[in-house]
């Protein structure tokens, strides 16, 4: 049965895929970090399902509606490219509220695992906050914390690895899965290459 299960990379949205706009409610605020789409396409080509898991307490706080969230989500998916992301899960709960989905709780990963036949033992979570690393640990996946969000201080992080950005996190995943693929350096315009 486990042969039918696929590995996944669970990815936080704000501060990891895109600049954190602090309660982003307008699609015009969406600014994807450089080379994120390239890195995600490379992971997808290596057989990983790509699933966004994002806390969106702005909904629960009344800062924006689910419809506004969906408009931002659509813009993120548009900028990344059609068909790249397999699924997106969001939690509208506010901090301090009892919640099974708000990270660091693993609810979004548990739900995605059930719906997408994910092998957690071969999966990773990439995020910019310590609660992302905690969520990954709680779900039983390996974790990578990136330094692209508001809080770039990562000393003492419980994450398995720390990376400068999602592109560097992708290389860590390839190294850990013993894949021969190599992501080109930032100065190489040829994109992903293989040794």
Q: How far apart are alpha carbons 127 and 15 in whole angstroms?
A: 8
14 belongs to the catalytic site = yes
119 belongs to the catalytic site = no
Q: How far apart are alpha carbons 37 and 18 in whole angstroms?
A: 10
Let me know: does 156 contact 148? Beta carbons within 8 Å.
no
With b meaning 16 or more CB within 10 Å and e meaning fewer, what string describes 33-57? Answer: bebbbbbbbbbbebebbbbbbbbbb
Question: In 3-56, which ranges are continuous DSSP H helix?
Answer: 36-45
Which tokens go with 10?
Answer: 């669970």
Q: How far apart are alpha carbons 156 and 45 in whole angstroms?
A: 33
Residue of 14, 86, 128, 165 marked active site: 14
**What is the three-class DSSP state of 179?**
coil
Residue of 3, 12, 26, 82 marked active site: 12
Q: How far apart are alpha carbons 122 and 100 in whole angstroms?
A: 23
Residues recognised as catalytic: 12, 14
């Amino acid at each position: 049965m486990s042969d039918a299960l696929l590995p996944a990379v669970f990815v936080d949205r704000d501060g990891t895929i895109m600049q954190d706009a602090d309660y982003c409610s307008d699609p015009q605020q969406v600014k994807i970090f450089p080379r994120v789409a390239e890195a995600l396409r490379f992971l997808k080509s290596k057989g990983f399902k790509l699933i966004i898991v994002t806390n969106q307490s702005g909904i629960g706080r009344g800062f924006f509606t689910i419809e506004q969230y969906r408009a931002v989500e659509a813009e993120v998916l548009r900028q990344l490219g059609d068909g790249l992301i397999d699924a997106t899960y969001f939690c509208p709960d506010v901090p301090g509220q009892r919640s099974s989905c708000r990270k660091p709780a693993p609810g979004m990963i548990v739900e995605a695992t059930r719906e997408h036949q994910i092998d957690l033992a071969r999966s990773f979570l990439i995020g910019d906050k310590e609660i992302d690393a905690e969520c990954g640990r709680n779900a039983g996946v390996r974790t990578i914390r990136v330094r692209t969000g508001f809080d770039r201080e990562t000393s003492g992080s419980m994450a398995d690895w720390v990376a400068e950005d999602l592109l560097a996190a992708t290389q860590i995943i390839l190294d850990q899965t013993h894949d021969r693929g190599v992501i080109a350096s930032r100065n190489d315009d040829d994109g992903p290459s293989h040794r």
